[in-house]
Amino acid sequence: MAPDQQELLHGTLETLILKTLATGPRHGYAIARWLETATGDGLQIEDGSLYPALYRLENRGWIRAKWTRSELGRPVKSYQLTAAGRRQLVANVKAWSRFSRSVSKVLSNP
């Protein structure tokens, strides 16, 4: 990936994670799966970049991690949105739609 795209995705990935957790707590793998299906695998996010993003979000207080047990009884770390994260999500979505509107305006003009 080109550095520019990486930076673009950096913020986008975080927003997507927040969006994923908006419906309820999930563990890392479930988030990865949800992103794959929801985007139709269009973004091709490396699993390796998902976890640092999760950790950063947690450090910022936007999501909270909790150890629970999986369906198979294994300890598993699941993440859930905090109130601050919910606000951030709203702000990010707004910023994104502003951004995408402007971009598509430019690109769709002949």
Partner 1 sequence: MKLRRPFRASRPRIDQEVDGELEFHLQMRQRELMAQGLREDEARRAALARFGDLTHARQELLRLGHERERRRRPGRWVSEIRQDVVFALRQMTAAPAVTLVAIATLAVGIGATTAIFSAVDSVVLRPLPIPDPNRLVVVGETWRDSRAGNISVGSFMDMAEEQTVFDAVAAAVVESVTLSRDSGAERVLAGRVSASFFDVFRQAPARGRVFRPAEDQPGRNQVVVLSHRLWTSQLAADPQIVGKAIILDGRPHDVIGVMPASFDFTADSEALWIPIAFTPEQRARRDEHYLDVYARLRAGVTIERASQEMAAIGGRLAQRFPQDNADRTIQIQPLLDLLVDDYRARLFVLLGAVGLVLLIACGNVSNLVLARGAARGRELAVRNALGAGRGRLVRQLFTESLVLGVVSAGVGVAAAHGLLRLLVALAPAGVPRLEQASIDITALGFAVTLGMTASVVFGLIPAWRAARIDVIASLRESGRGAGEHRVKDVVRSALIAVEVALAVVLLVGAGLLIRSAIEMRRVAPGFNPSGVYSARLTLPASRTTAESLTQTAQDIEAAVTALPGVRIAAISTAVPGFGSFFNGIVPEGEARESRNAREARSRFVSPGFFRAMELPIVRGRSFDDHDRAGGPLVMIVNQTLAERLFPGQDPIGRRAFCCNEHPKTIVGVAADVRARGPNRPVESEFYLPIAQVDDVAWGWTRRNVFLVARTDGDAALLRPAVRQAVSSVDPGIPLFSPMTMDERMARTVQTERFNTMLLAILGGVGMLLAAVGIYGVISYFAAQRAPEIGIRLALGARRETVLKLVAGQAAVPVAAGLVIGGIGAVFASQLLATQLVNVTPTDPLTFAAGVLVLAVVALLAALIPARRAAALDPARIFRSR
DSSP letter for each residue of the chain: --HHHHHHHHHHHHHHHHHHHTTS-EEHHHHHHHHHHHTTT-S---HHHHHHHHHHHHHTTSEEEEEEE-TTS-EEEEEEE-HHHHHHHHHHHHHHHHHHHHHHHHHH--
* Minimum CB distance to partner 1, residue 27 (Å): 7
Is residue 7 within the footprint of partner 1 (CB under 8 A)?
no
Selected range binding partner 1 among 13-21, 53-61, 86-94, 96-104, rule: CB under 8 A = 53-61
* Minimum CB distance to partner 1, residue 46 (Å): 4
Interface pick for partner 1 out of 51, 87, 101, 104 (rule CB under 8 A): 51
Site for partner 1, rule CB under 8 A: 27-29, 32-33, 46-49, 51-52, 55-56, 58-61, 67, 70, 74-77
